Structure formats: C-alpha cells, structure tokens
Structure 1
Amino acid sequence: MEYARLGRSSLRISRLGFGAMGIGNPGWRKWVLEEDAARPILRAAVEAGINFVDTCDFYSAGASETVLGNVLWDYASRDEIVLATKLGNPMGTHPNARGYSRKHIFSAVDASLKRLKTDYVDLLQTHIWQPDTDLEELVVAFDDLVKSGKVRYVGATTMPAWAFVQCVNLAKQMGRTPFVSMQCEYNVCHREAERELIPFCRAYDIALVPFSPLARGFLCADRRDARNATARHDSDDYTLKHYHRPGDFAALECVAKIAAKRGVEPSQVALAWALAQPGIISPIFGATQVEHVASAVAALDLKLDEEELRALAGTYETRPLGAKSH
C-alpha cells in the first residue's frame, strides 16, 4: 500500500480510501450489506493496508457507523485507522435534525462517536450542501470540536467552490482549525470540480479525496447489457439520471477498450485514471465483495500512458450550468 499526506497536515492516509456507504442496513438501500457480510470485506481492506475509512451518519440511518464500530476494531487498533465521517443530512424529522447549526453539529458528532465505538473521529466533514448555512457558525463549531478532542481534522464534501473558499478563509482569519480536505465527486465522466474546486485545493495544498471514482459502478461494466445488471444500478436513480449521457457511454467504451488491451478490469482503469490526476490523494471506493478490495489495490500498480490519458480525457461531455448533480 502507498500512503500520502492529508493536505498540509502530517497525517498519512492510504492512497485508496474505503467507502462504507454499502455497509449497514439493506432496508435503506437493497444493495447494502449487513454486518456478517461486511466483516470479511473490512478485514480484507485492513489487511491490504487501507487505513482511510470513510462513512457518514446518514448512511443506513446510522447503521453504517454501527457496523464499523462493531467490526473494525476486531481487525485494527484505533490508532491504525484514519476514520472519517460526515454530517448534515437529515437524521430526524424535526427542523434541527439536519444542516450545520451548532446544535446539530454537536449532537451529530456525539451520536456518531457512540455508534463508531470511539472517543474521536480523525476527519469530520460536511455532507450535502445547505445553501442557507452560516459559514462562520460552521467553522467555529468544527474548531470547537477539535479543541474538545472529539475531532482531529476537518474537511468538506460536495460544497460549492465559493462556499469552500469562504470556509477556508474564515478559518484562517479567525485563527480556527483549517480545512484539510475536500471530498468531491470526480471520475472520467464527472469532472466539473476541475473548473474551480480542484485548482483551489491544489493551490492551497488541500487534500482531494474524491468519491465515486467508478461513477457509482457505471464505469465497471456496460449496464445496457442485462447480464451486467446490479441491484445498485437498477435502484440508484442518481446514476440513471446523471451517468447515461452519450459522453458517459463514450467514456465507458474507452475505459473498456483500454482494460481489454491491458488485460485488466475496467474498474482498475477508472481508478488508475483518478489516481493519476494532479492533486488527488485518495479516491474513495466502495466494495460489496472481498474481490473488489483486491481489484482496487491492484489498480495502484496500473500506470496509464499519455495516449491512454488523452483518449479518456477526449470523451468528456461537460454538464450545463445548474445541472442537478454534486
């Protein structure tokens, strides 16, 4: 396994992050794995040297964190793992059970710590963006959690570039804990972050730990072929809405062509592309089989040449302003 620094911090994380959205309760999403099925996958990830594990309180309404708390510490010491979680999505029906008020941030972290069976998280991140957020309140609350010892580092997810810039600047101006990472959607088919967000993060040495490097599984196989159908693809309306454009299929075909030429899996080509992009520290992948972990780790050794990178880049179809995607 390879490791890299999390932005300007001295913390080192694996060059692949394990995403735990697919672990929790199948009642939330039918493709999600319960604890017994998740156990060998988490063990394989730890044994492969993956130390960066990312989850969220919203995944399976907290069950993802619960499974991690029940399983992860059987295979690794707390000190070995860089554990990341997120908050912001609804965790109840009342108006303060979501968003980035000081009230909800503190309550959400305390609840996550109980589920994860730990007294701190290494990286706390915002989740879905809330346009009416008071950014100063968010920055101060995150800083106070670091000072309390419940959080080590803070970052953001799927936040507009202007808002993230403001958070970074507010933290600096007020002498508060800096944001060390950005978790944005990024893959061969989805490169909107290259417009502003990624250049900003690279300029300020903020770690990019993107999610969906495989485009929610779209880049793994041609789902138009019924033999390649999966429970996730068939039930994930986001994928159907945002990864079925002509350019997306062109990217898929290019990925498949390179994979066939190299004798590797399409998922490995997609991961290798993400790993080769400037500023990308640790793409976060999901796994629902032990074999998925081994495949992802093998992608670290796949180095795409310039011709292959140009061919993949040439398939990109930009999304219009105001497109309803991350």
Structure 2
Amino acid sequence: MIYNQLGESDLKVSDICLGTMTYGKQNTIEEAHQQLDYAVAQGINFIDAAEMYPVPTSAETYGKTEAYIGEWLKHQQRDKLIIATKIAGPGRGFEWVRGGAKAIDHANIKQAVDDSLRRLQTDYIDLYQIHWPDRYVPRFGATVFDPTQVKPSVPIVEQLEAFADIIKAGKIRYIGLSNETPWGVTQFSNTAKQLGLPKVISIQNAYNLLNRVFDGALAEAVYYENIGLLAYSPLGFGFLTGKYLYGKPEKARVSLFQNFGQRYLKPKVSEAVAAYVDIAKRHNISPAQLAIAFVRSRWFVTSTIIGATTLEQLKENIDSVNLVLSKEILKEIDAVNLQFPNPAP
C-alpha cells in the first residue's frame, strides 16, 4: 500500500480509503467490522464516514455508521488510524439532523463534532469535513448555477473561526471540504491565509470515468492551494462495473432505493460504460479495477474512497492497488472520454 501526504498536513493516508456509507443500511454491524478488519489488514489506515450516514439517510438510521465504526474503533490502536467524518450542511431537508438546525455555524459545528466523537468513541477526529457547502451551490448531479437560488449563508470567515476553536480544543486535527466548487476552494484557502485561520487540506468530490469535471478548474485550484482530492464514487455508483448494462441487479442500490443515483441515469451513461467495460475486457482487467486504477493514476488524487456491500467486492476493489494502467490503456480511456465527455457530472 502506498501512503500519500494529505495537503499541508502531517497525515500520511493510504492510497485507498475505506468508505462506510452502507454501514447501518445495507451492511450489518458484523459485516461492517469484517470489512474494517480486512481493510486494515491490507494496509488501509484511512476510514471515511459522515454524521448523516448511512445513505439513503433517514431519522431511523442517522448516525448509525459512526456508531458501528465506534464499536470497532474502541478496540483498535487509535494513533495508527486516520478517521474522517463530516458535518451535514443546510438545504436538503433532513429535519432529524440536529433538530433541523444545520447551518455551518459555531453552535452546530460544536454539537456535530461532539455527537460524532461520542458515536465514534474517540477523543479526536483526524479530518473533519463540510459535507456540502453552507451556501447554495449546484450539487449531486446538478450542473447549472441559478442566482435566484442564492440565500443568506454563514460567512466563510465565521465557519473557519468556529473550526479554529474546535481545533484549539483538541477535538479535530484538520478540516476539509466536500462537494465544493473552485470558488469555494479559493475562498476558504485565501481567507485562512489572510487571517491566520485553519487551512483546508482536502476536498472530497465525485470523480470517475463518467464524471471528470474535476480535471478543469477544480484541478487548477487544488494545485495552487496544495489541497488533496479524496475521490469518491470511483465506480460511478457501481455503474462502471458494468452490472447495470443488462438491467438492475436486485440487491444493487439503484434497484433498492428509488430516486437514488440519478446522475448515473442520464443519456449516454450506458454507452460510455459499455465502452469502458470493453477496454477492460480487451486487456483482461476487471471493469471495477480499471475504473479505480484510473482514478488512482490522477496527479491530484491523494486517496481514492472505495466502498462495498460484500467482502468479495471489497477485496476486488482493494486489489486495484496492484494495477498500473499502461499508456496504451490511458490513451484508449481518453478516446472514450472524447466521445462521451462527462455523461454523469
């Protein structure tokens, strides 16, 4: 396993990060602990969660993922692991999240951190991320900025001041962003530098063969600000395995949960997936490993977040660390991208 420095921090994170958003919905606590044990045995030291997990989120399951991890974490050597979690932002109607008060302000940050620490059964969180911006932005498949949707939000400086207090208290070590834009990345970074506030060290955005939006302005922003991408959904919600080409598998998320993963149901997704699966088959590579190896190959990716509902899937995904794509394969991938650019942004 390769370990990479995450932004301007002393965190050395494994090339693969274990995503946990199925724990408590599709995975039992026993299955979750089995996955955690296996991942750590393979050299993974980086585990990502969120207060709203598992997803699809609900009042009944809210916080379960962190609780499952906490029951496991209390038996581990804490300083050998890097634990990341996230605070849910406003704008998605989750009334069960902190009683409906979801602004990224001092009171909510303090409560969310304290609640996550309790569920995780730990004294500190290594990386604490804003799950999506406090302000309005197009997100989760939306691509058009609509000025009429702009509403009052917590100023970035106030968010950073609140995080500074929590860091000073020793409850979190570093902060990161998620589902953020180039404007947001530069505003957080510049505000921190100008005022001596905590600098964000990471951004967690979707990135895969079907969604290479990060290649553009976001890549420029993280390059100049020295921020690492934690790429989520490298398998494009499982579509890049090819399993949806001939229908919807009964136990797959898109089959189980209505209106889930809508960005992957857009036109041209199936054609693009079929083309990538064909590349994998011609080179005797599993489509899943091709997709993950591509994400890992990008210069701006510090760690690739993988998740699975079965141990067999997890083993295949982790084994992708042994795959280095040839120039020939990368050239074929770029040719498909030219034909089907970002079908699931």
Provide TM-score, normalisation by structure 2.
0.85
In 2, Cα distance between equivalents of 1:56 and 1:116:
11
1:124 aligns to what SS in structure 2? strand
Q: Which amino acid aligns with 1:100?
A: I
2:41 is the counterpart of 1:39:
no
Over 3 Å counting, the alpha-carbon distance change for 1:230 and 1:202 in structure 2 is farther
Q: After superposing the two structures, state which structure 1 stretch, 225-234 or 120-129, moved more.
A: 225-234
1:283 aligns to what SS in structure 2? strand
Over 3 Å counting, the alpha-carbon distance change for 1:42 and 1:162 in structure 2 is same
Q: 1:165 corresponds to which residue?
A: 186
Q: 1:52 corresponds to which residue?
A: 46
Q: Is the 8 A contact 2:73 2:121 kept in 1?
A: no
Q: After superposing the two structures, state which structure 1 stretch, 309-318 or 153-162, moved more.
A: 309-318
Q: Is the 8 A contact 1:222 1:252 kept in 2?
A: no
In 2, Cα distance between equivalents of 1:227 and 1:236:
12
Q: Is the 8 A contact 2:51 2:66 kept in 1?
A: yes
Q: Is the 8 A contact 1:208 1:281 kept in 2?
A: yes
Deviation for aligned residue 1:236: 5.5
Q: Deviations over 1:224-260 (max 9, x none)?
A: 4247453302126242x21133442233123212222
Gaps of 5+ in 2: 55-61, 136-152
Deviation for aligned residue 1:146: 1.0
Q: Is the 8 A contact 2:74 2:122 kept in 1?
A: no
In 1, Cα distance between equivalents of 2:227 and 2:205:
12
Q: 1:17 corresponds to which residue?
A: 17
Q: Is the 8 A contact 2:186 2:225 kept in 1?
A: no
| Superposed CA RMSD | 2.0
Q: Deviations over 1:259-301 (max 9, x none)?
A: 2233332110000000111211101011211122221221112
Where does 1:90-239 land on structure 2 (aligned, <5 Å)? 90=94, 92=96, 97-131=101-135, 132-226=153-247, 228-234=249-255, 235=257, 237-239=259-261
Q: After superposing the two structures, state which structure 1 stretch, 153-162 or 305-314, moved more.
A: 305-314
Provide TM-score, normalisation by structure 1.
0.90
In 1, Cα distance between equivalents of 2:303 and 2:205:
11
Deviation for aligned residue 1:318: 4.4
2:318 aligns to what SS in structure 1? helix
Question: How many residues in Structure 1 have an aligned counterpart in Structure 2?
Answer: 314
In 2, Cα distance between equivalents of 1:191 and 1:158:
14
Q: 2:146 corresponds to which residue?
A: none
2:303 aligns to what SS in structure 1? coil
Q: Deviations over 1:162-210 (max 9, x none)?
A: 1221011111111011110010111010111222112210222211111
Q: After superposing the two structures, state which structure 1 stretch, 288-297 or 229-238, moved more.
A: 229-238
Over 3 Å counting, the alpha-carbon distance change for 1:310 and 1:230 in structure 2 is farther
Gaps of 5+ in 1: 27-31
2:265 aligns to what SS in structure 1? coil
